[in-house]
Amino acid sequence: MRQRALGAFYGLAIGDALGMPTQLLPRAVVVRRYGPMLTGFEAGPSDHPVAAGLPAGSVTDDSEQAILVAHLLIEGMGHIEGAELARRLVDWEGRMRARGSLELLGPSTRRAIDELLGGAEPSETGRFGATNGAAMRIAPVGIATPAADPESLLERVLEASTVTHNTGTALAAAAAVAAAISAGIEGAGVAGAIEAATKAATSAGELGHFVAGADVSSRLKWAVGLVEGRPLSEVADLVYRLVGTGVAAQESVPAAFAVLKAAGSDPFLAGRLAASLGGDCDTIAAIAASMAGACHGVAAFPAGSRRLVEEVNGLRLEPLVDDLLQLRRLAADEAGARGPAAVPPAGPVLVHAGNAVADLVLRVPRLPARGGDVLASAAEWAAGGGVNVMVAARRRGVAVRYAGAHGCGPFGDLVRLALDAGGIEVVGAPRPDADTGFVVTLVEPAGERTFVTRTGAEGTLRAADLAGLGLRPSDGLYLSGYGLVHRANGWALGDLVESLHAGVLVVLDPGPLVADLPADVLEKVFARTDWVSCNAEEARVLTGAADPGEASHRLAARLARGGAVVRAGAAGCHVCPPGSSPVHVAGFPVDALDTTGAGDAHVGTFAAELLNGAPVLRAARVANGAAALAVLREGPATSPSATELDAFVAAHSPDS
């Protein structure tokens, strides 16, 4: 969480500094001077109306006013008094004038403060403020306020905004930015942050004074859709011409969200792209890079960019961020003490308490000899491990939550982005002191794969992380050997399964590390497992039986209440229900391209089908179909959609 909070504040400063030399310029002038997109920081041009002579990396009013708001939040223990905000802004402008700076208060703020100094009520001074001044300085509110408490977030947005920007348009824009940053800090990817932003903008847009203008939430969603799937070479011109880059809140803030969407997982790209727009692009870049930094963490920015803005501007943002995070923790404690529990989903939920990791997939002509080397024909980073199981289950219509540990860093960001894209909820906050682990997967031409795993934050699961999961009798719990192999994880998960209601479905996939699982942990979990699913080799290790049917029978006999599924590749699987004999469920012969995700697709689909009420043999047949379709595609997360899988199974049924 700290890395993402630092990413939000440093992202704001980095984006602001990138946009400093291009602010107020037409897009055509920006392109003529710097090319279609800035490559980095530039000094203020000598003919610039407000930034002439500023060294590369200099921040503007966006960063300075955000720092001012951060100090007020900390001093007020999470609250801001409007009149004091106005006084501090006046003092700040005085210091700017004394330094000879032309970076002064914006039009809405200037007008509101003049009225306040003339005796107007603070509730009225911001009635004409429809520009982006509140949104540009709101990042500290997003850092200091938990996303799970939208009422408090909106209250703090109002406190930091209404004295200068008390219109529905400006409040919606500020709330959208704060909500996106808060959601990102708690682990949301770009899609999740945008969703949180649109909801907050809708709520805030109903508040404040009316001004004629487009609805911010609607324009935000439209702007994001406008750039989705577009090449970066087109995005800047589209945003400049159609979304707009003026100071109006309904232009610049949707523009920032469009940039956030287009930049994907690269927050520095978000800053460079926004800074290349022209217009009020220092503000757009500050907002876009701040939101992207919250979603991906400070490590996603080049190390030199952070050092430069620190050195040029004398910034010390880490102590501010730590104090804001302390406010966030206090607010979360208060919300937990007073707030009602979230309404659970109507249908079953599969909680995945295994490991979600990053996969480096290398396609090789053969495995290297010991001490040797081979040249990979292709390489790809993807989210893997438990992600594939969760995606498979989600595509069968089951709500899925990830309750495993995850870290701060590029691998953790990659995993959370994939989970967010798959509609999977992440339960806990990322570990601040470790990144998520990764797996190197060597894929041979016939599709066979070999793994090497480096454990990260996912190996640090504690009992406290699993408290409050609220598993109902209709829900399911998925466990994997990758989680149980770490003794601390194993005992925490063993204690969890012992505490479950008898109706909760527990599915265990021991995985390739089955021989390394602590025997005491495995037996503890076996005592409460409903279904074990593993491949034939893993079953042989567990039972000593080479025949998959016999292995399924022996494995089921080891369980106090459960059955076993032994996956046999193209031959399908062998299912042994509790107290019964094994049944062979035929597979779907296909020409495999890549078997990397087959087992995950099988067990995720099998668990989802059981939760949806399917008989076990029907669940196994549908799972065989999911695995067959998965091996026709390259990559780890290759589970088919529900429509595709249903059509495939129906087309290969005995009656078809």
Residue 380 burial class via C-beta count within 10 angstroms: exposed 0-12, middle 13-18, buried 19 and up: middle
Q: Say what the pLDDT of residue 1 is.
A: 81
Q: Say what the pLDDT of residue 428 is.
A: 81
Distance from the Cα of residue 72 to its chain's centroid? 29
Q: Say what the pLDDT of residue 343 is.
A: 46
- Token pair 């503890």 is found at 524
**Domain match, 385 and 312 both:** no
User: What are the distances in angstroms from CA 513 to CA 40, 279, 307, 353, 569?
Assistant: 46, 56, 43, 17, 19
- The tally of CA atoms less than 13 A away on the side-chain side of residue 445 is 3
Element (DSSP H or E) covering residue 349? strand 349-352
Q: Say what the pLDDT of residue 313 is.
A: 94
Q: Examine residue 9 and state whether it is found in any structural domain, yes or no.
A: yes
Residue 102 burial class via C-beta count within 10 angstroms: exposed 0-12, middle 13-18, buried 19 and up: exposed
Token readout for 325 is 């995070």
- The tens digit of pLDDT for each residue in 563-596 reads 999 999 999 999 999 999 999 999 998 888 877 7
Residues of the chain with pLDDT under 50: 337-343, 656
3 state SS of 102: coil
In the chain, the number of structural domains is: 2
**Domain match, 309 and 385 both:** no
**Domain match, 20 and 81 both:** yes
Q: Examine residue 161 and state whether it is found in any structural domain, yes or no.
A: yes
Work out the angle between the directed axes of helices 216-227 and 190-204 (0-180°, nearest 10): 160
Q: Say what the pLDDT of residue 172 is.
A: 96
**Domain match, 290 and 407 both:** no
Q: How far apart are CA 424 and CA 416, in angstroms?
A: 9
Q: How far apart are CA 41 and CA 48, in angstroms?
A: 15
Region class of 604: left (phi > 0), else alpha (psi between -120 and 50), else beta: alpha
On whether the CB atoms of residues 57 and 64 are closer than 8 A, the answer is no
Q: Examine residue 340 and state whether it is found in any structural domain, yes or no.
A: no
**Domain match, 268 and 382 both:** no
Token readout for 106 is 């914006």
**Domain match, 294 and 381 both:** no
On whether the CB atoms of residues 647 and 640 are closer than 8 A, the answer is no
Of 312, 335, 358, the one marking the end of a domain is 335
Q: How far apart are CA 569 and CA 601, in angstroms?
A: 12
Q: Examine residue 84 and state whether it is found in any structural domain, yes or no.
A: yes
On whether the CB atoms of residues 62 and 16 are closer than 8 A, the answer is yes
Residue 191 burial class via C-beta count within 10 angstroms: exposed 0-12, middle 13-18, buried 19 and up: middle
What residue numbers bound the domain in which 126 lies? 2-335
Q: Examine residue 344 and state whether it is found in any structural domain, yes or no.
A: no
**Domain match, 331 and 471 both:** no
Q: How far apart are CA 398 and CA 237, in angstroms?
A: 41
Q: Examine residue 656 and state whether it is found in any structural domain, yes or no.
A: no
**Domain match, 255 and 392 both:** no
Residue 111 burial class via C-beta count within 10 angstroms: exposed 0-12, middle 13-18, buried 19 and up: middle
Q: Say what the pLDDT of residue 500 is.
A: 93
φ, ψ at 95 (rounded to 5°): -65, -35
**Domain match, 54 and 187 both:** yes
**Domain match, 195 and 77 both:** yes
Residue 310 burial class via C-beta count within 10 angstroms: exposed 0-12, middle 13-18, buried 19 and up: middle
Q: Any idea what the CATH number is for the domain that residue 98 is in?
A: 1.10.4080.10
Q: Examine residue 33 and state whether it is found in any structural domain, yes or no.
A: yes
**Domain match, 291 and 437 both:** no
Q: Examine residue 201 and state whether it is found in any structural domain, yes or no.
A: yes
On whether the CB atoms of residues 629 and 395 are closer than 8 A, the answer is no
Q: How far apart are CA 235 and CA 219, in angstroms?
A: 16
Q: Any idea what the CATH number is for the domain that residue 631 is in?
A: 3.40.1190.20
Residues 6 or more apart in contact with residue 389 via CB below 8 angstroms: 352, 354, 478, 480, 509, 600, 603, 604, 607
Q: Say what the pLDDT of residue 432 is.
A: 79
Q: Say what the pLDDT of residue 654 is.
A: 64
**Domain match, 582 and 637 both:** yes
On whether the CB atoms of residues 230 and 190 are closer than 8 A, the answer is no
